[in-house]
Copies of this chain bind each other. A is one copy, B any other.
Amino acid sequence: MFDQLRFDYLSCAGHPTLQTPNIDRLARKGVRFTNAYTQSPVCGAARMSAYTGRYVSSHGAQWNGVPLKVGEPTLGDHMRAHGTGCWLIGKTHMRADKAGMARLGLTPDSVIGARQAECGFDIWCRDDGLWAEGPGGPYDNARSPYNEYLKSRGYGGDNPWADFANAAADDDIIASGWFMKNADRPANIREEDSETPWLTTQTIDFIAQAEGPWCAHLSYIKPHWPYIVPAPYHDMYGPADVVPATRDPCELSDPHPLYQAFTDTIIGRSFRRDDVRDKVIPAYMGLIRQCDDQMGRLFDWLEESGRMEDTMIILTSDHGDYLGDHWLGEKDLFHAPSVKVPLIICDPRESADPTRGTTCDALVESIDVTATIIDAAGATIPDHIVEGRSLVPYLGGQTPDDARDFVISEYDYSKHPVGTTLEAPPRDARLFMVADHDWKLVHCAAGYRPMLFDLRNDPDELRDLGADPACATARAQMYEKLHAWGLRMSQRLTVSEDEIRAQRAGGNDTGVLLGLVDGSEVAPDLVARYRGKVPRRP
C-alpha cells in the first residue's frame, strides 16, 4: 500500500509521461482494477477500513487520530485464526483506544494488548512516516525507527527525517520540504537512505526470515507529502510533464458550500496556482518513480529467491491526491483523483492465469481487498464481520455472485478545519458518497443539498447536478442505494449467518415451548417430559 498515490499516476493506467515499468510488470502478471474506491479519502479512516474489512461507519475510526475501538476484529485476527501471521512493515496511522484498553485491563506490553494497539498486526517495523514537530510538540509521539536508522547512517541532529529526508539544503540552511517552493530541489540525503528504499530493505529482510504462511502489510509513506525527493528523482520530470488540471471555472460558479469551503483552504488556494503545480507534480512523479524502482528491486529479489511463485501481491493506495484538479489539493472529497485508488492483484496460482495482464472495470472497494486476502489464504470470510467481498472470482475471470452494483465512501470533516469554518456540529460533519458506473451522489449529513455527477456524460465531474431539477430521478435512485446501505446489518459480529441457519434447523428443544394450550400441538413424548410425579413439597 502506497500513501496518496493517485489511480492514474502509473504508466499502465495511461499517464502520458510518467514511467512505472515495474508496477506495469505486475499489472501484466495480474489484474488491474480500474474502478477501485477507497472507503474514505483520508489516511486514518481508509486504513482502518482496510485493516478491518469494514465500512468507516461500522468501525467508527472516522478520521486521522480517532482511535479504532478496542475489540474491533481485524484482518490480523482472521488470518491468525487460519494459522497465517499478519505483519506490519511501515505505516498504519493507528491510534490505540487507550481508554477502552484500560477498561479491559489490556496493556501494549502483552501480545494481545500490542495487537489491540496496532490494529491487529504484529510489528516487524512500524513507522508512520510523519515525524514533524511544531510549537505544540511532535505530530507523532512514537519512536521513529527510520530516524534511528538515519542516525545510525551518520545523519546528525534530533530529527534527520525533517532535516535531511524531507528537506533540501539551501547552502548550509535547511530548506524544508513542507514549503512547496522547495519541491524541485533534491532532498539532502543519499537516495539509498531515503524512506522508500529503507522500507523495501525491511521487507526483504522480513520475507527472507519468514517461515510458514504469512501476510505482510508493506505500507509506504510515499508519495505522500512533503513533496520532495532525492536525486536523481528530483529532476526526472519537469513542468512539461505536468498534465493540465482537470478543472473548469464553472465549478467555482455558485458552488456547493462544502466544496467551496475546501477550495478556500490554504491548500486549495495553493494548488490552484500553476507555478505550484509545476513544482509539486514533478516531485510527486519523482517520488512515484522511486517507488516503482523499489518495486522493481523487490520483485527482482522475489524472483531470485523463488518467492514470486508463491507470493500473492496486491498493490494499492489508501486514497489519491487532487494535485490542483477541481481547484483542490490533498484529498477529502470524492472526485476521482481523490477517491479512486490504484489496485493491482497478482495471484501466482494457475487459477488466475485466465486474467493475467487484463483490466477489470467492476465496482470494487478497499474493504474488498481485505476479504480477498482472507479468501485467497483459503479461510472462510466471516461475512457477518467483514463487509468486503472477495475479488478472487474476478481473478479467475468470473463475475462473483455478490458483485457490487454501487460503491460507498465516507468522509468525516468534524476535525478538519473546514468543520470549524462551517461551524458544523461534530456528529453532523459527515459525507457519504454512493457511486455506480453512471452516477456519483454525495450526501451531506449536515443538511446541505447533495452533490451529483453524471459519470457517463461528464466523466471529469465538472458539473455538479445536485440541485438540477432534471436529475431528480437519478438522485432518488442513488439515495435508494445509500439508504439501504445505511440500514445494513453491521454490528451482529458474534453470530455468523451459518450459525443462525444451524440454530434455526435445530429448533427449540430446550424446553421453552411457547404457545401450547394442552400439548396436542407437539409430539406426545415431548409432552411427557413436562409431567411426572410431583417431588417432595415442604
Q: State the A residues within 8 Å of B (CB).
A: 57-62, 65-73, 77, 97, 99-100, 103-106, 110, 112, 116, 130, 132-139, 153-157, 160, 162-164, 167, 169, 172-176, 178-181, 188, 190, 225, 265-271, 273, 276, 329-330, 384, 412, 414-415, 417, 419-420, 425-427, 430, 432, 443, 445, 479, 482-483, 486-495, 497, 500-501, 503-504, 506-519, 521, 526, 529-538
Interchain CA distance A517-B273 in the complex, whole Å: 10
Question: Nearest Cβ distance between residue A427 and chain B, in whole angstroms?
Answer: 5
Question: Nearest Cβ distance between residue A536 and chain B, in whole angstroms?
Answer: 3
Q: List 10 A-B contacts (CB under 8 A).
A: A104-B104, A104-B112, A134-B509, A139-B510, A156-B535, A164-B537, A267-B515, A269-B515, A330-B515, A445-B487
B60 and A491 within 8 A (CB): yes
Chain B: CB-nearest residue to A518 = B181
Interchain CA distance A225-B103 in the complex, whole Å: 37
B276 and A530 within 8 A (CB): no
B538 and A155 within 8 A (CB): yes
A100 and B494 within 8 A (CB): yes
Chain B: CB-nearest residue to A177 = B530
B534 and A163 within 8 A (CB): yes
Residue with the greatest number of chain B CB neighbours at <10 A, chosen from A130, A330, A521, A537? A537
Interchain CA distance A412-B71 in the complex, whole Å: 24
For this chain, the copies found in one complex come to 2
A138 and B492 within 8 A (CB): no
Question: Nearest Cβ distance between residue A389 and chain B, in whole angstroms?
Answer: 13
B104 and A178 within 8 A (CB): no
A518 partner residues in chain B, CB cutoff 8 A: 179-181
A66 and B494 within 8 A (CB): yes
Interchain CA distance A100-B382 in the complex, whole Å: 14
Residue with the greatest number of chain B CB neighbours at <10 A, chosen from A134, A488, A492, A538? A492
Interchain CA distance A103-B62 in the complex, whole Å: 24
Question: Nearest Cβ distance between residue A174 and chain B, in whole angstroms?
Answer: 5
Interchain CA distance A521-B538 in the complex, whole Å: 88
Question: Nearest Cβ distance between residue A63 and chain B, in whole angstroms?
Answer: 9
Interchain CA distance A367-B266 in the complex, whole Å: 43
A427 and B537 within 8 A (CB): no
A537 and B156 within 8 A (CB): yes
A100 and B112 within 8 A (CB): no
A97 and B494 within 8 A (CB): yes
Chain B: CB-nearest residue to A68 = B494
A510 and B133 within 8 A (CB): yes
Question: Nearest Cβ distance between residue A261 and chain B, in whole angstroms?
Answer: 14
Interchain CA distance A266-B513 in the complex, whole Å: 10
A175 partner residues in chain B, CB cutoff 8 A: 531
A535 partner residues in chain B, CB cutoff 8 A: 155-157, 160, 163
B489 and A427 within 8 A (CB): yes
A531 partner residues in chain B, CB cutoff 8 A: 173-176
A536 and B276 within 8 A (CB): no
> Which of B492, B501, B504 contacts A60 (CB under 8 A)?
B492
B66 and A497 within 8 A (CB): no
Sorted from nearest, which 5 A-B pairs have the closest CB atoms?
Answer: A60-B491, A132-B511, A154-B538, A71-B71, A486-B486
A178 partner residues in chain B, CB cutoff 8 A: 511, 513, 516, 530
> Which of B67, B270, B271, B511 contacts A139 (CB under 8 A)?
B511
> Which of B173, B268, B493, B515 contacts A532 (CB under 8 A)?
B173
Question: Nearest Cβ distance between residue A273 and chain B, in whole angstroms?
Answer: 7
Known: A60-B494, A139-B512; 11 extra A-B contacts, CB below 8 A, are A58-B491, A65-B503, A67-B495, A73-B100, A134-B510, A134-B512, A135-B509, A163-B534, A173-B531, A267-B515, A419-B504
B427 and A534 within 8 A (CB): no
Question: Nearest Cβ distance between residue A528 and chain B, in whole angstroms?
Answer: 11
A270 and B156 within 8 A (CB): no
> Which of B276, B489, B495, B529 contacts A134 (CB under 8 A)?
B529
Interchain CA distance A72-B495 in the complex, whole Å: 15
A425 partner residues in chain B, CB cutoff 8 A: 497
A268 partner residues in chain B, CB cutoff 8 A: 515
A270 partner residues in chain B, CB cutoff 8 A: 515-517, 521
Residue with the greatest number of chain B CB neighbours at <10 A, chosen from A116, A175, A517? A517
Chain B: CB-nearest residue to A102 = B112
Chain B: CB-nearest residue to A501 = B426
A415 partner residues in chain B, CB cutoff 8 A: 500, 503-504
> Which of B60, B65, B155 contacts A536 (CB under 8 A)?
B155
> Which of B62, B190, B515 contacts A265 (CB under 8 A)?
B515
A73 partner residues in chain B, CB cutoff 8 A: 100, 103
A526 and B266 within 8 A (CB): no
B516 and A130 within 8 A (CB): no
